[in-house]
Amino acid sequence: MDNEDNWLIDDSDDVATATAVDPWRVLIVDDEPDIHQVTRLALGNIDFLGRPLELMSAYSGREALATLEQDDDIALMLLDVVMESEEAGLRVARAVREEQHNHRVRIILRTGQPGIAPEREVIESYDINDYKAKTELTRDKLYTAVLGTLRSYRDIMLIEQQRQMLAANRRGLLKVIDASSSIFQLQSIRQFAQGVLEQLQALLFFEQEALYVVVKGSVAALDQDGATTVLYATGGYAALCDKPLADDVLARFKPSIDEAMRDGRSVFADDHFVGFFRAHQGAANLLIIDGPVALSHADRDLVELFCRNVSIAFENLMLRAEIEDTQRDIIYRLSEVVENRSQDTGKHIHRMAEYAWLLARELGLSDEDAEIIRAASPLHDIGKVGIPDVVLHKPGRLDDAERRIMDTHAALGHAMLKDAKPRILKMAAIIAHQHHERWDGAGYPQRLAGEAIHIAARIIALADVYDALSNARCYKPAWPREDVLEAISLGRGSQFDPAVVDAFFAVLPQLEAVQARLQDTQQGS
């Protein structure tokens, strides 16, 4: 299927025979009945490109336009210039192009005065193919002119058809992009895989059976146990869902899979297609369509684009899946340790998460990093579960001994989380450990300074103080807004990273919107 670049100029009748029953419709426009007669005699029983002619007649410019208005598949008009007026024919040519917007019908002008050609400008403006003197009505001359003109009409129609198909493909692709932007609503990887296969099949009008396969590791790992998992499959392959790719199926597609993984792109074979993309966490994703796939270059580009798009959506989904796993892990750990230990309000934790995300984005961290920090932030004070109630819930100021006990919550939180595997819990361990460090090195527990403090902890430090000052605690009332902002300003470069303070003021309206939306209903600890 590599000949689509030159099939337009292929004069074999393949294309025409598809519609062999349809004649070419040719409209003779002339006010002299004799001309109709002669033309019919000259062209009557000849086939052009495998199709006969259907000759139609109009005897004035007005009648010609009415006929064209009704029949939008007239291929050719043999058009007299002088009829009801000197320029009636030229008026027809102008009206058919400019008013009826018919740019398909071919036009051969015929004039009674040999040697007087219509102006070049007229020929170009109204896309007139040819002009002939009426004396040139011999069968041979007419045949040659009509053949050339019908050929160009056929090409125009094919291009038009192709453009419509391409537009349909584009619409399919837009649907795909819409679908992947709503990917956050898809509940599982499997549902995602199903959606991708359905979209791809719809996009390319495929009826074939298909598989969505994830491969861990490199091409060399293909044969190892557990390297492949079928996420979704249709038709005869449906039984493979959630299983490794069966040996016989793997063997059938292996050369293409090898090639796709080696070259990092999709492979179009005669009787199947292997779409490829690599999610940036490492796993390779294969979309296998089993069956002949005849695609133009433009279609192939669309498929490649689709695969890239899918890989971005897949990345988002994997991240979300990891967050969900992590959250289950968190809930498990907390329910074991805590059990209504802290009076801290849930709202505080939600606000912190939103503040942290806004600050991280403003500071230019990636979506993914911001998401991880947001997910980890609720655990920043988890170490407080190890602080005795009398200290934690003391209504007034802490004395020095109590303060020393209180300060251990940072190291305690770190100790609780430091061995966890999920990257969100690793991040939480760092945040728990470092969120009371200060930019100037006067914080606790490690007295880290500047960029030795993890950016996530620098963000949480500010979010934490902003929230503590803006709301009442058991040991203090809420501060007025101006005082809160002044304290944060004063802390720029001493308590806080100056860049984080700048980000804070840049997103202050959004922070305050969060504050308003997530207000405390009861007093926190």
Q: At what angle do helices 189-203 and 297-337 cross, to 10 degrees?
A: 170
Whole-angstrom distance, CA of residue 427 vs CA of residue 372: 7
Residues within window 435-464 making contact with ligand C2E, judged by CB under 6 A:
436, 464
* Residue 215 or 469 with smaller CB distance to Fe ion: 469
Spell out the alpha helix ranges (H) of 71-125. Answer: 88-94, 120-125
Place of tokens 């992590």: 326
Nearest-Å Rg of the Cα atoms of the chain is 38
* Token output for 484: 């809160």
The total of other beta-carbon atoms located within 10 Å of residue 148's CB is 14
Q: SS3 helix, strand, coil % of the chain, rounded to 5?
A: 55, 15, 30
Among 455, 461, 463, 514, which residue interacts with ligand SIN (rule: CB under 6 A)?
455
Provide, rounded to whole angstroms, the least separation between the CB of residue 384 and ligand C2E. Answer: 7
Return the one option of ligand C2E, Fe ion, ligand SIN, none that residue 394 interacts with (CB less than 5 to 8 A, by type).
ligand C2E
Does residue 165 bind ligand SIN (CB under 6 A)? yes
Among 381, 437, 467, 497, which residue interacts with Fe ion (rule: CB under 5 A)?
381
Residues within window 365-404 making contact with ligand SIN, judged by CB under 6 A:
365, 369
Provide, rounded to whole angstroms, the least separation between the CB of residue 374 and ligand SIN. Answer: 11
Does residue 406 bind ligand C2E (CB under 6 A)? yes
Which pairs with CB-CB distance under 8 Å and at least 24 residues apart come from 47-51?
48/24, 48/146, 48/147, 48/150, 49/11, 49/13, 49/16, 49/147, 49/150, 49/151, 49/154, 50/13, 50/16, 50/17, 50/20, 51/16, 51/19, 51/20, 51/22, 51/23, 51/24
* Residue 214 or 501 with smaller CB distance to ligand SIN: 501
Instruction: Give the dihedral of Cα atoms 437, 439, 441, 444; nearest 10 deg.
Output: -10
* Residue 30 or 464 with smaller CB distance to Fe ion: 464
* Token output for 312: 């971005």
Return the one option of ligand C2E, ligand SIN, Fe ion, none that residue 456 interacts with (CB less than 5 to 8 A, by type).
ligand SIN
* Residue 94 or 473 with smaller CB distance to ligand C2E: 473
Place of tokens 């606790």: 444
134 has catalytic annotation? no
Does residue 30 bind Fe ion (CB under 5 A)? no
Whole-angstrom distance, CA of residue 184 vs CA of residue 161: 37
Among 473, 485, 506, 520, which residue interacts with ligand C2E (rule: CB under 6 A)?
473
- The region of 184-192, 257-265, 268-276, 375-383 touching Fe ion under the rule CB under 5 A is 375-383
SS3 316: helix
- Considering only the C-alpha atoms of the chain, give the largest distance between any 2 of them, rounded to a whole number of Å: 120
Give ∠ CA 415-420-424 in degrees, rounded to 5.
105
- The region of 130-138, 153-161, 379-387, 446-454 touching Fe ion under the rule CB under 5 A is 379-387
CA-based torsion, 222, 226, 232, 233: positive or negative: positive
* Residue 286 or 431 with smaller CB distance to Fe ion: 431
Among 295, 298, 468, 472, which residue interacts with ligand C2E (rule: CB under 6 A)?
468
* Residue 460 or 503 with smaller CB distance to ligand C2E: 460
Number of chain positions touching ligand SIN (CB under 6 A): 12
* Residue 381 or 497 with smaller CB distance to Fe ion: 381
CA-based torsion, 492, 496, 502, 508: positive or negative: negative
Does residue 374 bind ligand C2E (CB under 6 A)? no
Among 166, 219, 487, 506, which residue interacts with ligand SIN (rule: CB under 6 A)?
166
Return the one option of ligand C2E, ligand SIN, Fe ion, none that residue 145 interacts with (CB less than 5 to 8 A, by type).
none
Binding region for ligand C2E (CB under 6 A): 394, 397-398, 406, 436, 464-465, 468-469, 473-476
Active site residues: 384
Binding region for ligand SIN (CB under 6 A): 162, 165-166, 169, 296, 298-299, 365, 369, 454-456
Binding region for Fe ion (CB under 5 A): 381
